[in-house]
Structure 1
Amino acid sequence: MPTITKEKKQSEKPAKKRAQLKVLSVKEIVICALSGAVLGLAAPGINLWPIAWFGLAPLLLLIVSSKSGFTATARGFIFGTCFNLVYLNWYLGLQPLDWLGFNWWQGWLMACAAWMIVSMHQGILISLFALASYLIPVCESYLPKKISGVWRIPAFVLFPGLWVLILNKLGNAPSMLGVPWSMLEYTQYQQTQVIQVASIIGGIGVGFLIVLANVSVANLVATLHKKSTFKLLASDRPRTALIQLGVTALILVGAYVAGAWDSSRASVEATRHAAVLQGNINIDMQKTKRRWNPLDLFHHYQRLLTGARPGLIVYSESAMPVFFREHDDIVKAMGAQARSLKSDLVLGSMDRQSADSPYNSAFGITSDGKLLNTVYHKRYLVPFGEYPPAFIEYLPDWIRVLTNTPAGGGFAAGQDPAVLDLKSGKVAPLICFECISPELVASSTRHGGELLVNLSDLAWFHDSSIGEQMLAFSVFRAVENRRFFVFAANTGPSAIINPRGEICQRSRLNQDLLLEGSIGFISDMSIFSQWYR
């Protein structure tokens, strides 16, 4: 009988430790990458939305079959990064960057770097979800179980709860430089009947339900697999898994019914005329030597407004790229325009209270030509794009130049959800990607906003899918708060959305036009608006 020496035993210990931290096999990497990329196909702009209801199940199975926390984390990172690389493909639309002084290959390099960095940042959050899911004792049922003296949390509660906590809330908080963009709920923006429950539980609740459905799929697959690999998610017999699938179906049906009930109570009466002025001022007209001056812009807008009906007219973000209140001639001209059109105006421009605190702002001008004293200052700023984080000072100049803004060194963040009290009604402005924040939009509604408007300038991203994804966010904000939503994008697509999330009018990309439609001003607050913070 062979003997094992003391030296051999000692040499086996580090070998075991190394095995726990071994690099993933090529097969594992390919499975994780492909699974994540397939889920990304559900993103707005690609619109293979059914995938969202089962496309996360592979990640859940990969987590429970992991032999160490390191493996679970690595699998989650690869899955999450590839999911976001597909979802966030619009970052490639940043190029060409010749207006920043980069040639064609440098532009591609910078666009690809931004695309990869942001995707990896979001991949890290999904890896944290994977690690937490691995470390917390879990069982395959809807109820907790005590196994071998250890209480285990139901997967049907743990996985959806961890997902929305890490992805929707903590990891993507502004203080963490987070941008909660690639959320699962937005994949359903065209399924308006399905998302009506968002007026009660919000988009975050819809995301919870999507993950719940994926847990049921993973539970069924693990049970039918009949191997120990997925035993943590496997029921004792197929009948149990089918019963739990039925429970999930009942929950989803209940959510659908609750949403339909609340939708039937919502006011969608459109009694006022509204128009979006889509100026189509491309990046060359903004940033190069061929840039248009305020007078050029005013005459361009005046031409587009010929024959406009009285009502509300919404301009885009930075429609007048100056410090608006410091230019009396422009203020007077815009006031005269409002009077002649008998329309209230909402205009994107800049404001400042001191030389070192410029704001990306929205102004209101009433139909009698009066400039409102209330000015909305954008609260949620784009990291790097609108303000340089503190550590940017230690980076090379070729990176710092990417923080270029109309204000020069960056914007200051506003603090208040200011509402513009116009003749038409009370308008709650949002600027650019603030429509990704349900917290900000709900706070604007609670502060008296009867109509939501978003002013955006997406010219930076050329012909990408970013506009379609921002429309998806706007659809959810409209449903959550039961408000009409006017989305005004400089280069399109612009849209008018009703409180049920239906896109009533929309424009195409890269056209200068006046998009007209009907809106209503609503004072009743949704259940979601009242409770969500």
Structure 2
Amino acid sequence: MSNHPFIKALLIFFSGFILSFSAPGYDLWFIAWVGLVPLFIIINTSKKIKDVVVYPFLFGFAYNASYLHWLFSVHPLNWMGFNTLQSYLISFLAVVLVSIFNSLFYILFAICVFVVKKFSLIPYKGRIPFILIVTFLWLIIFNKFSACRFLYGFPWTLIEYSQYKNLYLIQIVEYFGSALISFLIVFFNLVLTDFLIWLFNIEKISNRYISRNPGEFSSILISFSFIVTLIFLSTASGLYLFWKNQQLFSGKSQTICVLQGNLPIKATRGIKLDINLARKTYEKLINNNDEILFVAPEGALPTNFTHDQIIRKWFKDLTFKKQSDLIFGSYCKNHEKYSNCAVHFNGARNDFSYYEKERLVPFGEFVPLSSVLPEFLKKLASFSIGEGFYEGKQNIPFNTSLGKVGITICFELIFPSIIRKQVLQGAELLINLSDLSWFSNYRIQQHFLGFAVFRAVENRRPVIISSNNGTSVFIDQSGKIKNQSIPNTRGTLIDWVNPNNKITFYSKYGW
């Protein structure tokens, strides 16, 4: 790699950009297995702390900005009362600020590796012990620390999601979670980095000389053999686990109808909510079908459900009329603010149940540090019946006629701990309610598929995504995408599922 700072900066920035094409939607999954090498070369060959701050930041920013470019498609925001200039500014800041935030974890990782390499009692040429330490640092920082609630974590761009279509490889996550795939990818990249440093003598260019002695090469070969063996064993066991978890239609299978209303965002979150349009749309879709469970997306009933007696009666009457279970997204007010919630009516108990979203989207559903921010930014989390949401407390699975159903809303799907909690509370089926009509870019829909595949395999539960404008999807417990809707259309998606109550090792003990 060039010694000229500007050229080096361009190369590392471009490398991060290239890595983003491993994301779901592009599906160039193989890039992930080599795409971290430029970052690791910089970290391993740098002698100044400045270098392990600047270059990893550039890599992380390019990767995240390209990966999350769909955030810009939140423009136009005139339906929220913003003018064109404000809309462009907000859309631009959404991409830049989130990318900067996520890039800070690359700096933290690089500094930790720099310190470990400089002061560790384990010598760098110990290879496997050193690589293990670096890999676990990656997992702790990116898979755990970056997801912390108090940091408003947004672990959307984790490297393992690139492998969501490699179903044989990822079956092993039922034991160790998606972090195991990250472990394999990072370890492989580190071994490849060591090999390239040895082969091209890169450290000599940086005024350090490492001789190409046979002992050094043999230690690299041992590391390579170790990671290839792990990948082989994961894939081989995955073949068996995939076959074992194949789902066939049986007497225990249940048919579910997902309602894709394709309502405009201004009707479900805008200045003027349109509950009448929503009610007519979903009632028409339901009346044309006869399934045991109907599922409608996030915000499907844009009203204060806990106090709207007309809608509550309509919902209850429709449940009895169809002799089915209904799960709809709506808004509930139990305190001074509203919760983004899912509602279900239990005919046997003649009672409503609620799930309240517990992880809120910063600036989309609440405004952090609102006291110091411009007033116009606070409108991002406001809508006609309230100003922002509160974090929900009611988040246990729904008791339905087909078993317990675990609910998540929107980006809660990227937090495995929320899903695990639902499963440990008895959820036999997982349903995610989303409204992605905020964004005109379809890449976000592809990302959701990647998240859902991993959550299905980790917990061995069927996963259903009910999305307002798509992509709605059925995924079985092996991670296989069985059926998906056409985006930006109104209609229904019908398929069968086999609810499962067995607890995986990851569900019970996962970190």
Q: Shorter-chain-normalised TM-score: which range?
A: over 0.9
The one of 437, 440, 443 aligned to 2:415:
437
Once the two structures are overlaid, the 10-residue window that deviates more, 356-365 or 192-201, is: 356-365
Once the two structures are overlaid, the 10-residue window that deviates more, 481-490 or 368-377, is: 368-377
The reply on whether 1:257 has 2:236 as its aligned counterpart is: yes
Once the two structures are overlaid, the 10-residue window that deviates more, 97-106 or 208-217, is: 97-106
Spell out, residue by residue over 1:471-496, the C-alpha distance to the aligned partner (whole angstroms, 9 max, x if none).
Answer: 11111101100000010011111101
Spell out, residue by residue over 1:443-463, the C-alpha distance to the aligned partner (whole angstroms, 9 max, x if none).
Answer: 100000000000011111123
The reply on whether 1:57 has 2:37 as its aligned counterpart is: yes
Once the two structures are overlaid, the 10-residue window that deviates more, 402-411 or 500-509, is: 402-411
The reply on whether 1:117 has 2:97 as its aligned counterpart is: yes
The one of 274, 293, 304 aligned to 2:274:
293
Distance (whole Å) between structure 2 residues aligned to residue 175 and residue 360 of structure 1: 20
Q: Residue 36 and residue 146 in structure 1: after superposition, are their counterparts in 2 closer, same or farther (change >3 A)? A: closer
Cα drift, residue 50 of structure 1? 0.7
Q: Residue 46 and residue 146 in structure 1: after superposition, are their counterparts in 2 closer, same or farther (change >3 A)? A: closer
Partner residue in 1 for 2:264: 282
Q: Residue 422 and residue 24 in structure 1: after superposition, are their counterparts in 2 closer, same or farther (change >3 A)? A: farther
Cα drift, residue 269 of structure 1? 4.2
Instruction: Give the number of aligned pairs.
Output: 502
Partner residue in 1 for 2:53: 73
Cα drift, residue 172 of structure 1? 2.8
Q: Residue 288 and residue 327 in structure 1: after superposition, are their counterparts in 2 closer, same or farther (change >3 A)? A: closer
Spell out, residue by residue over 1:349-390, the C-alpha distance to the aligned partner (whole angstroms, 9 max, x if none).
Answer: 122222x14211111124x4866443111111111211122x
Q: Residue 342 and residue 315 in structure 1: after superposition, are their counterparts in 2 closer, same or farther (change >3 A)? A: same
Distance (whole Å) between structure 2 residues aligned to residue 403 and residue 275 of structure 1: 31
Q: Which runs of 5+ in 1 are unaligned?
A: 1-22
The reply on whether 1:44 has 2:24 as its aligned counterpart is: yes
Cα drift, residue 223 of structure 1? 1.6
Spell out, residue by residue over 1:78-127, the C-alpha distance to the aligned partner (whole angstroms, 9 max, x if none).
Answer: 10000001111111111111112333343222211110100011011111
Question: Any conservation in 2 of the 1:125–1:171 contact (CA below 8 Å)?
Answer: yes
Cα drift, residue 236 of structure 1? 4.2
Once the two structures are overlaid, the 10-residue window that deviates more, 420-429 or 169-178, is: 169-178
Partner residue in 2 for 1:184: 159
Once the two structures are overlaid, the 10-residue window that deviates more, 75-84 or 257-266, is: 257-266
What TM-score results when the alignment is normalised by the length of structure 2?
Answer: 0.92
Partner residue in 2 for 1:321: 302
Once the two structures are overlaid, the 10-residue window that deviates more, 226-235 or 157-166, is: 226-235
Question: Any conservation in 2 of the 1:220–1:241 contact (CA below 8 Å)?
Answer: yes
1:376-455 correspondence runs (5 A): 376-389=355-368, 391-405=369-383, 408-455=386-433
Question: Any conservation in 1 of the 2:123–2:130 contact (CA below 8 Å)?
Answer: no
Once the two structures are overlaid, the 10-residue window that deviates more, 327-336 or 213-222, is: 327-336
Partner residue in 1 for 2:484: 506
Which protein shows a greater Rg? 1
Distance (whole Å) between structure 2 residues aligned to residue 405 and residue 532 of structure 1: 37
Partner residue in 2 for 1:9: none
Q: Residue 423 and residue 227 in structure 1: after superposition, are their counterparts in 2 closer, same or farther (change >3 A)? A: closer
Question: Any conservation in 2 of the 1:385–1:402 contact (CA below 8 Å)?
Answer: yes
Cα drift, residue 338 of structure 1? 2.1
Instruction: Name the SS for the 1:41 alignment partner.
Output: helix
Instruction: Name the SS for the 1:453 alignment partner.
Output: strand
Distance (whole Å) between structure 1 residues aligned to residue 210 and residue 496 of structure 2: 50
What TM-score results when the alignment is normalised by the length of structure 1?
Answer: 0.89
Q: Residue 165 and residue 234 in structure 1: after superposition, are their counterparts in 2 closer, same or farther (change >3 A)? A: farther
Question: Any conservation in 2 of the 1:364–1:371 contact (CA below 8 Å)?
Answer: no
Once the two structures are overlaid, the 10-residue window that deviates more, 172-181 or 24-33, is: 24-33
The reply on whether 1:341 has 2:322 as its aligned counterpart is: yes
Q: What is the root-mean-square deviation of aligned Cα atoms in Å?
A: 2.5
Q: Residue 133 and residue 153 in structure 1: after superposition, are their counterparts in 2 closer, same or farther (change >3 A)? A: farther
Partner residue in 2 for 1:358: 338
Spell out, residue by residue over 1:38-79, the C-alpha distance to the aligned partner (whole angstroms, 9 max, x if none).
Answer: 111111122211100110011000101112122111111010
Distance (whole Å) between structure 2 residues aligned to residue 326 and residue 97 of structure 1: 29
Once the two structures are overlaid, the 10-residue window that deviates more, 376-385 or 326-335, is: 326-335
Question: Any conservation in 1 of the 2:23–2:29 contact (CA below 8 Å)?
Answer: yes
Q: Residue 344 and residue 330 in structure 1: after superposition, are their counterparts in 2 closer, same or farther (change >3 A)? A: same
Question: Any conservation in 2 of the 1:164–1:207 contact (CA below 8 Å)?
Answer: yes
Partner residue in 2 for 1:132: 112
Question: Any conservation in 2 of the 1:137–1:152 contact (CA below 8 Å)?
Answer: no
Q: Which runs of 5+ in 2 are unaligned?
A: none
Letter in 1 for 2:446: E
Distance (whole Å) between structure 2 residues aligned to residue 407 and residue 381 of structure 1: 17
Letter in 2 for 1:165: I
Instruction: Name the SS for the 2:114 alignment partner.
Output: helix
Instruction: Name the SS for the 1:516 alignment partner.
Output: strand
The reply on whether 1:268 has 2:247 as its aligned counterpart is: yes
Q: Residue 349 and residue 146 in structure 1: after superposition, are their counterparts in 2 closer, same or farther (change >3 A)? A: closer
Distance (whole Å) between structure 2 residues aligned to residue 82 and residue 194 of structure 1: 28
Question: Any conservation in 2 of the 1:24–1:71 contact (CA below 8 Å)?
Answer: no
Question: Any conservation in 1 of the 2:203–2:210 contact (CA below 8 Å)?
Answer: no
Q: Residue 235 and residue 213 in structure 1: after superposition, are their counterparts in 2 closer, same or farther (change >3 A)? A: farther
Cα drift, residue 343 of structure 1? 1.7
Once the two structures are overlaid, the 10-residue window that deviates more, 462-471 or 54-63, is: 462-471
Identity of aligned residues (%): 29
Question: Any conservation in 1 of the 2:267–2:274 contact (CA below 8 Å)?
Answer: no
Question: Any conservation in 2 of the 1:507–1:515 contact (CA below 8 Å)?
Answer: yes
Partner residue in 1 for 2:69: 89
